[in-house]
Structure 1
Amino acid sequence: MKQKTQRQISQTWVLIVVLLGMLSGATASLFIRYGTAPSLVLAAYRKTIVTILLLPMVLLHHRIELKQLRLRTVLWCLLAGVFLAIHFVTYFMSVKYTTIAASNVLAGTEILFVSVFMFAAGKEKFSWVSKLSIGIALIGGILVSLTGGGDTAVNAPLGNVCGVICAVMLAGYSLVGSKVRQANLSNTLFTFLAYGASAMVLNVMVGVSEYHFFGYGPVNFLVAIGMAVFCSLLSHSLYTWSLKYISPTLLAIVKILAPVPTAILGFLVLAEVPSWNQIIGGIIVILGIMLYTKDKTKNRQAIQKQKHPYNPA
């Protein structure tokens, strides 16, 4: 009984840490709004800074693993970095052009695109519940995308499209990351390589664009540092750490709810009020994804029970 209580307390504290990570990640939209540099430049700043911050950890603890890397693994990490670079550019543009609530709800549909890609590859099957939940989430996404709010209304369609592209690119990153991690590559080294590749792609994009690397004022460096620390290290890293203690399903549900604190922060700090269709559509999207996640978890447990019908314990 005592051990059970200790386990419950432990998971409670882990969940608190995950929620803090979600709140840290929710600040991304605020940082972007305070930045004055172009979205592409801000994205390049962020990924370059977080790569530099990860470098000492890699050199201190992963030098042997780094030397043993195969070319194929490096190429997969580069592909992940390309997906991540496009994800960040489109996410920054989405936050700039549409409301914070709409941007984050649409970006949060990543799990649905992962499933679509898996289905197209013949590695995923949909039950009627999964199909229904995807349809519900799709309806919610369309409702969210109908209009913008406030000063962003004119460019809202572009911002909403960027939000969807952002989710597609993040799905690609997650699928490549899953493939690479199955090859026993540590999370720290994969993150460093993917972030580094993303930084290189973004910096090349800045170099061939009409923008300049510098000349936007110190506020943009502060914004980039803030995003690197709060949104990358204190959000994504905490998510990864938590998987040792809680189920991926619970973590997925927490991430799905991320648009809620983001919208609240947008209201409190920027006085940005989501429109009625974005509030209702966001709720529908969250419910659809939660239903989908629950159904897929139930199906996985059923498959595992068929493979291992007897429990020796």
Structure 2
Amino acid sequence: MVRAYFAVLIGVISVSTSAVLVKLSTAPVGVIAFYRLFFSSLFLAPLFFHKHTKAVKRFSKKEWNYSIMAGVFLAFHFILWFESLRYTSVASSVVIVTLQPLFSFVGAYLLFKERINAASILCGICALGGSFIISWGDFYISGKAIVGDALAFISCGLITAYLLLGQEVRKKIDVVPYTFVVYTISSITLFMYVLTKQEAFFSYDWKEWMLFILLAVFPTLLGHSLFNWALKYVSTSIISMAILFEPVGATVLAYFLLNEEVVKSQIAGGGVIFISVAVFLLLQRKNTLQLEKGMNSTSY
């Protein structure tokens, strides 16, 4: 159990590097996203081809369709989120993407008819209010910053769609074959996107290549992969709560590495979002425990 919590800590630190690494790169956002997922797929390939090729053959038509859609959504999430970082600060962009648990809840309600209650709706309204506080403050800093906030908001919706689709596929498919397939589909999608934009694939110095590899290793493999491993030993709620600290880590790194200042509107809006999402996750955890208790009591 201690190892699992340590893995979650390393995961949070790792994913916190993502926005800063993107900011440090001068390559087009499509190219950055392509190499992040291409190298991630490349690093996963030995494990996939050693043990998990047979799992892909067992994919149903539905699982293939969901995996393809998930890969496309993930690709465009990265395009829009990375583009948002060209316009707005790390703090604003990452905090807005933290709205993802609320997007997931709405998506689960619309797609899978999961229950929704007044307290959860209130948390969602408060969190959206926090994002408006950030955007309002950014508008006064720069007219372009609000464009970045909007792109981050849309990218949050796309990553939610990716996670909801993955949730369905992962009920039957192990994490390695699913992840490899989705990352490969995302890589192909981003490859076509870069070709369409007529952007260069290779004319970059060694610093850019290092950033591409670091994005694959830290936020992708050491971040999300460790979260997936830790789920075997700790609850989803703990992972979700831990990820709420990503904006803190990203903001601290941006302050020291990029000299980005944190303004009052970002602190206020980020605080509102953090508290709202935290309360929401705690309520969800409480509801899950009550449901499990009810199911166990009826089984006797």
- State the TM-score, normalized to the length of structure 1: 0.91
For 1:144 and 1:18, how far apart are their aligned partners in 2? 28
Q: CA deviation at 1:133?
A: 1.1
Q: Which moved more, 1:173-182 or 1:217-226?
A: 217-226
Q: Partner of 1:5 in structure 2?
A: none
Q: Partner of 2:89 in structure 1?
A: 99
Q: Partner of 2:295 in structure 1?
A: 307
Q: Partner of 2:253 in structure 1?
A: 265
For 2:165 and 2:275, how far apart are their aligned partners in 1? 27
1:155 corresponds to 2:108: no
The change in CA–CA distance for 1:149 and 1:247 in structure 2 (over 3 A counts) is: same
1:179 corresponds to 2:168: yes
Q: Partner of 1:4 in structure 2?
A: none
Which of 64, 68, 93 is matched with 1:78 structurally?
A: 68
- Matched residue type, 2:159: L
* Structure 1 gaps, min length 5: 1-10
Q: Does structure 1 retain, via aligned residues, the 8 Å contact 2:71–2:182?
A: yes
Q: CA deviation at 1:76?
A: 1.6
For 1:28 and 1:148, how far apart are their aligned partners in 2? 21
Q: Provide, for residues 194-219 of structure 1, a one-character-per-residue CA deviation record: whole Å limited to 9, x for no partner.
A: 10000000000111114222223332
Q: CA deviation at 1:153?
A: 2.7
Q: CA deviation at 1:230?
A: 0.6
Q: Which moved more, 1:12-21 or 1:193-202?
A: 12-21
Q: Does structure 2 retain, via aligned residues, the 8 Å contact 1:107–1:164?
A: yes
Trace 1:152-301 onto structure 2 (pairs within 5 A): 153-182=142-171, 184-301=172-289
Which of 104, 127, 132 is matched with 1:114 structurally?
A: 104
Q: Does structure 2 retain, via aligned residues, the 8 Å contact 1:50–1:195?
A: yes
Q: Does structure 1 retain, via aligned residues, the 8 Å contact 2:96–2:152?
A: yes
Q: Partner of 2:80 in structure 1?
A: 90
For this pair of structures, how many residues does the alignment match?
Answer: 300
Q: CA deviation at 1:71?
A: 3.6
- Matched residue type, 1:299: N
Identity of aligned residues (%): 28
Q: Secondary structure at the match of 1:121?
A: helix
For 2:10 and 2:112, how far apart are their aligned partners in 1? 37
For 1:186 and 1:294, how far apart are their aligned partners in 2? 28
- Matched residue type, 2:148: G
For 2:120 and 2:59, how far apart are their aligned partners in 1? 38
Q: Partner of 1:45 in structure 2?
A: 35
Q: CA deviation at 1:181?
A: 0.8
- Matched residue type, 1:167: C
Which consecutive segments of 4 or more residues in structure 1 shift more than 4 A?
none
* Structure 2 gaps, min length 5: none
Q: CA deviation at 1:61?
A: 1.1
Q: Provide, for residues 127-159 of structure 1, a one-character-per-residue CA deviation record: whole Å limited to 9, x for no partner.
A: 221111111111111111223399x83421111
For 2:5 and 2:182, how far apart are their aligned partners in 1? 27
For 1:254 and 1:168, how far apart are their aligned partners in 2? 20
Q: Does structure 2 retain, via aligned residues, the 8 Å contact 1:107–1:167?
A: yes
For 2:185 and 2:275, how far apart are their aligned partners in 1? 35
- Matched residue type, 1:72: K
